[in-house]
Structure 1
Amino acid sequence: MRSVLTILLAFAAGVLVTLWLPGRPGTPSLPEHHPADLPPASASMSPGVSYAAGFEADSEGDDWPPEGPTPEQVLYAQPRLLRDALARVTPRIAGKPNLYLLTFAGDGAEDVFHNEAEYAAKLFTTRFGATAHSLVLENNPATLTSHPLASWSNLDAALAGLGKLMRPEQDILLLYISSHGSEDHTLLVDMDPLPLDQIGAQDLAGILAMHPFKWKVVVINACYSGGFVPPLRAPDTLVLAAARTDRSSFGCGSDSDITYFGKAWLVDALNHTDNFVDAFRQASSEIRQWERQDKLTPSEPQIDIGIGIENQLALWRKGFTPGPAVAFKPPVAAPAAAATTTK
């Protein structure tokens, strides 16, 4: 039944994309997505909260806002929401490398991921000047009508859209993913009861390979995210992972506002340096202290630095003077999201 529903919805979305997008000058077209059969991290922070393999979505849709749009309305609105989000991306600054941040908050059952995705977008565009641009994909009951979903289809389409706004040989793509992760290195993509495809390590590498970006920074903030490093490794890519391939990361859960890695790398480190590698080293040290204090098994964040990416990031940094620190303040939930629960 799920397969049939997925096929019908994908077909309908494709028809809507075809009908809505032609004739709109300056707006990137959105490709169709062909889903595969594929099989999920971490203030105030909540120490010791992590999710392991076997995480299952709540089939009853308890997180859906009772006063919000219907699931069908949300699905049919995706082409428009993504088109509008791409249209809001700030103009490219000519004559220097630009950085395009795409955030992806995968699990709609916990605000922590949504908080992190929106904060990252605010941090980059406020602190790193006009050469930094952002687009947010997120699953959250409070943003069903304001932001495109974090889904396989929207990730692929957003990358295609950004590819038409960027100069792929000069500009840098920064993909920041925050969600739960499983021991088989699969990200949880969930906005229950929508039938969303999950994204594994090889899947993500395949999605990125379909687009023409030369320079990439990929940040995977999830349990077991070290398993994403090998398939994403490339000479022109910086890969950051919140945990070792066989370790959990921490700070997620209903009592958390931001994950351990999100607080350490985004809030504490990037508010003091614009160097992503230096920020990672600072964040790793800070996370070790928190884990030791809370008597947790060390997550051991991972980094892989392609031979060319640091020079390109340095060129980008020359194009702006960092602004002041950006305080982290969790967004206030909309009334329609007040009745949400946590899995």
Structure 2
Amino acid sequence: MPSHLDPRRRTAIATLTAFAAGVLLTIGVLRFGPEPLTARREPLAAPAAVATAAPASAATVAPADEGVADEAALDTWPTDAPTPEQVFTAQPEAMRRAVAKLAPRTPGKTNVYALAFAADGSEDVFRNEAEYLDTLMARRFGAPGHTLVLENHPATLSTRPLASWTNLEAGLDALAKIMDPKEDILLLYVATHGGDDHSLLVDMDPIPLDQLDPDGLADILGKHAFRWKVLVVNACYSGGFVPKLKGTGTLVLTSARADRTSFGCGADSDITYFGRAWLADGLNATPDFIDAFGRARREIAAWETKDALEPSEPQIDVGAGIEEKLAAWRKRAAIGPAVPFTAAR
């Protein structure tokens, strides 16, 4: 099969992709999550240049228009990338390669492992934050090889596994085997557009991907015995995830209240407000995740006031024991110097 998207093959590829997706969905390969799931939607433009919202009320593509939508997606598919079908079928091997690069845990102390999930392939900001978290873990927190990056982006179709429901489950399965689930800390960072129904956009058109919602993410995490977790959801309306994700041993951070948008995405942006304030500014000022959140919330509020935006009001829930666990980890972690943010290239 050719490695380039030959225009003469687009119709055939679209047909094969749709057929393969239908078969796989039927036998349950694509989805290991519970019902109900938020229906898959097409990429949605943010309501404002800086808001990271994907309105839940947006109409899905009508069946008669699906072929047109698929052709449009293929027209924007990078010509130097594998075809959508090749990317789709290569995911098990992509995950195997990514997991093989993870470093073993350091015995005798608490380790932190991160999973970055950049879910919307239509904008650079989410990929930038996932890649920056990888850099931050290696250089700031002295944990190279402790980050698994799943991302949807045209530039990484051959180098990173897709951010998908299936890969998220597989990634957590792999981390559970490398980590000590009772001793180590899982950091999950999710960045994408969010809808006012608290669904998260998971998209790399024209590849069919299931969406994530609070019930689905909670179910995925509930299948894994990670005692200590830091769960970060950077998306509009992400406060809607707090009730489902909070619990003993868990720190939950979100970029917005359940009924508010957050800001900083768009084609002209390299990083979201929350990504800048918590990842880049907060965690470079302090290795304390909770203190960094307080700093980030104040910084975001100042930016929103300056720009006359409705406050996003980032949310936090500190479960019993996690603050003390993070403090114990910091005492023995090899904290390095600040790492300036740079956009992925």
If the length of structure 1 is used for normalisation, what is the TM-score? Answer: 0.85
Q: Which whole-Å deviations, capped at 9, do the CAs of 1:168-211 have from their partners, x for residues lacking one?
A: 00000000000000000000000000110000011100110011
Other-structure match for 1:206: 219
In 2 relative to 1, CA 70–48 (structure 1 residues): closer, same or farther, beyond 3 Å? Answer: closer
In 2 relative to 1, CA 200–3 (structure 1 residues): closer, same or farther, beyond 3 Å? Answer: farther
Structure 1 residue 255 corresponds to structure 2 residue 259: no
Would you say the 8 A contact 2:191–2:234 is kept in 1?
yes
Q: How far off its partner does 1:301 sit?
A: 0.1
SS of 2:209's equivalent in the other structure is coil
Would you say the 8 A contact 1:98–1:131 is kept in 2?
no
Other-structure match for 1:238: 251
Deviates more, 1:75-84 or 1:136-145: 75-84
| Aligned positions of 1:14-93 closer than 5 A | 33=32, 36=35, 38-39=37-38, 48-54=50-56, 59=70, 60-61=72-73, 62-93=75-106
Paired amino acid for 2:214: A
Other-structure match for 1:194: 207
Paired amino acid for 1:283: A
Other-structure match for 1:178: 191
Paired amino acid for 1:290: W
Structure 1 residue 6 corresponds to structure 2 residue 6: no
SS of 1:324's equivalent in the other structure is coil
Paired amino acid for 1:48: V
SS of 1:169's equivalent in the other structure is coil
In 2 relative to 1, CA 289–187 (structure 1 residues): closer, same or farther, beyond 3 Å? Answer: same
Would you say the 8 A contact 1:240–1:302 is kept in 2?
yes
Q: How far off its partner does 1:8 sit?
A: 2.3
Other-structure match for 1:282: 295
In 2 relative to 1, CA 104–219 (structure 1 residues): closer, same or farther, beyond 3 Å? Answer: same
Q: Measure, in 2, the Cα distance between the counterparts of 1:68 and 1:179.
A: 23
If the length of structure 2 is used for normalisation, what is the TM-score? Answer: 0.85
Q: How far off its partner does 1:328 sit?
A: 1.0
SS of 1:270's equivalent in the other structure is helix
SS of 2:128's equivalent in the other structure is helix
Q: Measure, in 2, the Cα distance between the counterparts of 1:295 and 1:259.
A: 17
SS of 1:164's equivalent in the other structure is helix
SS of 1:280's equivalent in the other structure is helix
Paired amino acid for 2:148: L
Q: Measure, in 2, the Cα distance between the counterparts of 1:245 and 1:32.
A: 26
Q: How far off its partner does 1:63 sit?
A: 4.1
SS of 2:163's equivalent in the other structure is coil
Structure 1 residue 146 corresponds to structure 2 residue 159: yes
Q: Measure, in 1, the Cα distance between the counterparts of 2:145 and 2:211.
A: 29
Paired amino acid for 2:23: L
Other-structure match for 1:335: none
Q: How far off its partner does 1:66 sit?
A: 2.2
Q: Measure, in 2, the Cα distance between the counterparts of 1:131 and 1:78.
A: 23
Q: Measure, in 1, the Cα distance between the counterparts of 2:264 and 2:90.
A: 32
Would you say the 8 A contact 1:47–1:294 is kept in 2?
no
SS of 2:146's equivalent in the other structure is strand
In 2 relative to 1, CA 71–268 (structure 1 residues): closer, same or farther, beyond 3 Å? Answer: same
Q: How far off its partner does 1:321 sit?
A: 3.3
Other-structure match for 2:132: 119
In 2 relative to 1, CA 209–13 (structure 1 residues): closer, same or farther, beyond 3 Å? Answer: closer
Q: Which whole-Å deviations, capped at 9, do the CAs of 1:88-129 have from their partners, x for residues lacking one?
A: 112210000100100000000001100110001111121111
SS of 2:90's equivalent in the other structure is helix
Identity %: 54
Would you say the 8 A contact 2:52–2:194 is kept in 1?
no
Would you say the 8 A contact 1:13–1:75 is kept in 2?
no
Higher RCO (CA 8 Å, separation ≥ 6 residues):
1
Other-structure match for 2:10: none
SS of 1:253's equivalent in the other structure is coil
Q: 5+ unaligned residues in a row in structure 2: which ranges?
A: 1-14, 42-47, 62-68
RMSD of Structure 2 on Structure 1 (CA) = 2.4
